[in-house]
Amino acid sequence: MSTTLIATFTATPGHAETVRRLLAAYADIVRAEPGNERFEPFTDVADDHRFVVFESYSDENAFAAHIGAHDGADFNAALMRHIVEPASVLQFLSPAQP
């Protein structure tokens, strides 16, 4: 079963552009990971400092490999210096069944 989630975080005032650059570089890395199906960063229309990243992985093993990747640790360490929250807030999703 695939793993789908959204990650949300808020850039500190004046740091939105830095967060955008970090996300753009990291998106290229994540999209090349085996099992990554989607990694799409968005900003809130009402607040350009509020970020939402939609992510999907082919299965739990692909997601676990993503979480354990060295590039992810580097990205998160850099991101933490520019966001309000102590870490990205993860919300795991499942398909809505009729």
**97 against 23, higher pLDDT:** 23
Contacts of 21 (CB under 8 A, 6+ apart): none
For residue 97, name the pLDDT band (cuts at 50, 70, 90): confident
Exposure on the CB side of residue 71, measured as CA atoms within 13 A: 13
Mean pLDDT of 32-39: 98
Predicted pLDDT at 41: 98
Record the pTM.
0.92
Residue 98 confidence class, pLDDT cut points 50, 70, 90: low
Q: Smallest Cα–Cα separation from 43: which of 53, 30, 34?
A: 53
Query: What domains are there in the chain, each with its CATH number?
Result: 3-93 (3.30.70.100)
Average pLDDT of 69-75?
A: 95
Please choose, from the candidates 20, 10, 4, the residue with its C-alpha nearest in 3D space to the C-alpha of residue 88.
10
